[in-house]
Structures are given as C-alpha cells and as structure tokens.
Amino acid sequence: MLLYYITDRKSLAGTDAQQRSRLLVRIGEAAHAGVDYIQLREKDLAARDLERLARDAARTVRENSATAKLLVNGRADVALASGADGVHLPAGELAASEVRALWMQASDRAPVVAVSAHTIEEVRAAADQGASFAVLAPIFEKAHTDVRPVGIDALRAACASTLRAEFAVLALGGVTLANVEACLAAGAAGVAGIRLFQNGDIVETVRRLRALKHI
C-alpha cells in the first residue's frame, strides 16, 4: 500500500517559524515511519521561501529514509532546484508528459509525477500522459466544505479504468483509519491525506495502515 502525506504547516501550532520547524519534524517522522511520498503543499509561500523549505524538507527526508520521496506541489522548478524527487500537479494544469520532458532536460534523475484528479476522465488522462500515479478526491464527505464527494463507486471505476499496470490510483478526502479498508477493497493502491498523517502518532498510524496491505 502506498502512503502519501500532504503537508499543511498552517494547521500546526505556533508562530510562522515554529510552524516551519514543527513541519520539518513531522516530515522526518513520516519518512522514518515508512510513508512513501510526502507532498510539500505550502501554496501560500513565495517561490524563494518555498525553495528554502523544500531544500530543508528534502534533506530531512533523506536523513530519515532511503526510500521516501518528496514532491513539491505545482512547482517543478522549485522541486528541481531543491533536490526534491518530483512534483504533484493540480488537476487541469500541465500534462504529466510535458513536465517529465522539461524535467529530463534539466536533470538526469527521472521524476515522480503525481496528478490530482476529481473524475474518472482525469484519472485516465493522467495515466495516458505518463503520470506516476493519480490522487482521486474527495472520496468521502468532509466537514466545512461544499465539495461533493465522488464516492467509493467512482474510486472503483477509476481504479479499473486504466490499462497501465504500473499506474496507481490513491484515495484522498475524508480518508480515516475507519474507512481505509473500503478504499483498498475498491482497488486503490494506497491513501493520501493531511490530518491522517499530520495528526496523532504517525508510527502507530502507519503500523495500522500497513496491517491492511493484503486486503
């Protein structure tokens, strides 16, 4: 099962500096605990500040795991400059194939390219365009939002809709330890989340998730 932690430093307590510091600690804990991917999703930061944070995050991931990968949300340039492993593309923006081609012009490291999707069609497009995986959201209803969930049936259809054996679909949006099994039963290769990984004991969270990997 693939585990994907999406960051949100603003939800952490303290001043800006304290939030930044606590986020880096959490990133290190996530990598050490066995999370596969960490998306640096700090969209309010200016490019220079985001690059500094990404550099520190990339170093923190490497210090705590030989396998975890850091992706930067929406900024392939920042990801390249900071030594991150790839980029997460918002739905409806650049095609994964374009980003991959641009990346390979500047680096000899093949990138991980994840794509957000909200429909089955967007999942198919991500697969056809060579994305590493798609994150379909929101699967479940979430508090404090008017966005309608796509539901388990759509997740099942999306997982069955692509022909690339190596392409994965992850479930995001209202995913908790209580409903992960439903996502896996629908064919999801893993789960993504902010609160799922940023709150609580991440070692215990990962342990409980890994125990479900054969479902």
**Residue 144 binned pLDDT confidence (cut-offs 50, 70, 90):** low
What does the alpha-carbon distance between residue 43 and residue 108 come to, in Å, rounded to a whole number? 27
Residue 141's pLDDT band (cuts 50, 70, 90):
confident
Q: How confident is the model at residue 2 (pLDDT cuts 50, 70, 90)?
A: very high
pTM listed for this prediction: 0.95
Using a pLDDT cut of 90, give the percent of the chain over it. Answer: 90
Kind plus residue range of the DSSP H or E element containing 112:
strand 112-117
The beta-carbon contacts of 96-104 under 8 Å, at least 24 apart in sequence, are: 96/126, 96/129, 96/130, 96/131, 96/132, 97/129, 97/130, 100/130, 102/76, 103/76
With beta carbons less than 8 A apart as the criterion, state whether 159 and 134 touch: no
Average pLDDT over residues 159-168: 87
